[in-house]
Structure 1
Amino acid sequence: MLESPRTATSGHGPSAPWELRLREDFFSQYGPALLPLPESLETSRLYLALKRSTRYMDEGIREAAQELFSDPAFLASVSLSVLVYFAAWLAPEPLFSKAFAAALTVRLSLLVGVVELGRLAMACLHLHQEAEAATTPQELEAAAERFSKALGGTTLRVLVVVASLGVPQVLPQVPKGGLWTLLSPLRHAPAGGPALESIASVQLVANGSLVVTGVAAGTSATSLCGELATCAMVNGAGGAPGGSSKLSTRYGKPHTRQNPPHNEAIEEELATREAAGHADLRKNKPQVDARTQPVLDPNPAKGVRFRKPDAASVRPDGIRHNTNYVSNSRDMKRELGAFDSLVRSDPKAIHELYLLDGTLVRRYIPPGVSFP
């Protein structure tokens, strides 16, 4: 495979039985392939290029990606994602008529934005085209490198979600913690369930709107409130029956009923910390130090003396850890100001600010404190 892409990696040869089952399961969820399908994914240039691409990924995600892409079944599922799901984004007005794919498209669009999904689809198309055109190992290597450079942590997670949700059994058992957390499935991304299972189709029209038919027949989520969208579905297309989203309250009352993804991000973060042995778990409560003493901003902006971190806890080593989330790009300036206030109030604590998709915006680590 390494020596002769023209002959050995052209996808010739019969598919293994496990691959045939994988294809059937994948097509049942996402629909038929929209790009030419090789006889065998394992011997295709696309498969080999995807496997090589992990060599060139950023250091922060490379190790976890290599763990995932070393599994043949998962890598075959990623290949199918390129040939089936992401290929659908390349039409002038992409249409997702398979219920599962339509529901997943709505979820991902609300989380990462239509533009980001389109960029990932284009990167997948370019990889497929360049891999098919490769006549030497060097050309295949170059295609793999260009593809990896086009990926970020968010888009790689989207790729993992699309490949694994349709056929959950192909997801490798990667050790939890460490770098795996950078590639964990996007929060709130799973499709289906009572919230979105009745969506019939989703179409992206020329002005960047998603037209959803089914429960929300005729509803248009124009531009999805921007690329950092967290807007709720309307007319019963999202949330619990009756049009309202079910909010988790294990760690405290809802952060806000108007922004369910924000609330769920906080709940999930606190659950992760509890599992890691953190103490004094706090959800949207006034800032305190590691001894649970209230702290105030010595240089308050606009008269705001104290802040309420979205998620706060004390690590097993006694260090307070505060985290806030940004739901909308328009609020970034305000959230950065709140972050600076948190740091001024307690410079001995760890402070972080994230987008809802898990992208780190800013982090403060006190001198002498370790952070994995």
Structure 2
Amino acid sequence: MTPAARAAAAIELIDAWAEGAPVERLLTNWARAARYAGSSDRRAVRDLVFDVLRRRRSAGWMGGGESGRALVLGLCRLEGIAPDSLFTGAAHAPAPLSGIERESPAPLADAPLPVRLDWPDWLWEAAVASLGEALEPALEALRHRAPVTVRVNLARMSREEALARLAEAGLAARPVHGVSGAVVIEGEARGLKGLDLWRDGLIELQDAASQALVEALPLVPGMRVLDLCAGGGGKTLAMAARAEIAVFAHDAHPARMRDLPRRASRAGIAPRILPEPKAPERHAPYDVVLADVPCSGSGAWARNPEGKWRLTRDGFEQLVATQRGILARAAALVRPGGALAYATCSLLDSENRDQIARLLARSTGWTLEQERRWLPGAPGDGFYLAVLRKA
């Protein structure tokens, strides 16, 4: 496919996304139907669609509209690509620009700040109140692709050895300062899952800030630890690799854990998986309970920009209510003297410190032992962690 044909494909996919279809399903169906598209074409179209979603508002400003065509035109201008090189009208290419489309837009610097930073208007005040002086750098980081980061299984291999093995495989990589097992893959991460390192469970994909969060947990050998909202099990595996502990994994939607047994076996780890709704209570109490709760995902919108535009005010309020319920449940599972770790990949206080303040105000016997926030880009996604100690 030519670059122009890739742009045309992206335009159609973005228009379909705007009608409500999930972006991953659209990309998967397009790749299956477009048998003429090679792997490099599929990656290029995917990158183009996701770049538009990350910068939807600024691209719309520069392109003069919200259609797929206007957004791809606006992205060209944002990235310094000559639009006429893509909008050629040749076979499989977008039609040439009209006279109106050729008119120069107002500079992006003239746009309102939420437009320049690609943030929903209805969440703007919450972001300002939550981030303060960190607002602009944090939101700017979300406008760009997040790095590919892996976690080295330090229980079985040093980071230095992993870096050497990656170099032998032709993958440039660098360590992440301050996160002991984190390695960023620089450039293309093609073939990563075909490496012996991957097949033998010596590395796993995991954001650096997510790894830093696990390193901040008060884990010591011999503990019983529950990952209450385990999902795919990334933090379950990371915790088990940190210390000789008994790890239990549960999720309200057990299907999310379907790959965890295979991943754990590959890593040489044997967590106790608890799919039944009340299983965490049957095995309680625990020395540490991690509640990495469902959230807006606003700290990880560089990876999942679709979430930025699909989230609604009502949906957000429902998430906050769900978080309160999970936090209360998690607190009841901690043994006396144990720790409750509450985590989100959100930037917003209403999902983070406000939830902790509410628990401390309503429940006696808890003290806030640790509170940390990682902003997007340093060292990875945006995350929040509060560790509370039970009397």
TM-score between both structures, scaled by the size of structure 2: 0.27
